[in-house]
Amino acid sequence: MISPLAYVDKESQIGENVTIHPFAYIDKDVVIGDNNVIMPYSSILRGARIGNNNTFYQGSIISAVPQDFKYNNEDTTVEIGDNNVFREYLKPPPLMEKHQLETETSSCKPPACRTTLTSGTTAL
């Protein structure tokens, strides 16, 4: 279900059984897999690649422009795996180099929370 009060860019790709609540923002060049929940006031910005079964709570911002002095308006991507929970007002910190990162939250254990980051991406 996509709320008519949410903004979903026509260039984004939305999977099956995705719930997008009112006032969420989905930018262009975004790919969202199946069975995701995007709560109100969350922003999924350009370059986000999201797997399946993730939940983004109110106010989370995914794939924002890196806050790094070395950033020079390059295209960036964020790749999120499956079965993750992103709590309220989360804005992942930027990374400007190629990294592999494993994160652990209260709702999942690696490798389910593994996030692969490519050059110019944001860590989760």
Could you tell me which residue, 40 or 88, shows the higher pLDDT? 40
CATH number at residue 19: 2.160.10.10
pLDDT at site 121: 35
Answer whether residue 103 shows pLDDT above 50: no
45-75 confidence digits (pLDDT tens): 998 999 999 999 999 999 887 777 777 777 7
- What residues contact residue 73 under an 8 Å CB cut-off, 6+ apart? none
What residues make up the domain containing 70?
1-124
pLDDT at site 111: 40
3-61 confidence digits (pLDDT tens): 999 999 999 999 999 999 999 999 999 999 999 999 999 999 998 999 999 999 999 99
Six token digits for residue 120: 């110019």
Answer whether residue 108 shows pLDDT above 60: no
pLDDT at site 22: 98
> Does the model's pTM come out above 0.85?
no
Cα-atom radius of gyration of the chain, to the nearest Å?
13
pLDDT at site 100: 43
Q: How many domains does the chain have?
A: 1
Answer whether residue 102 shows pLDDT above 80: no
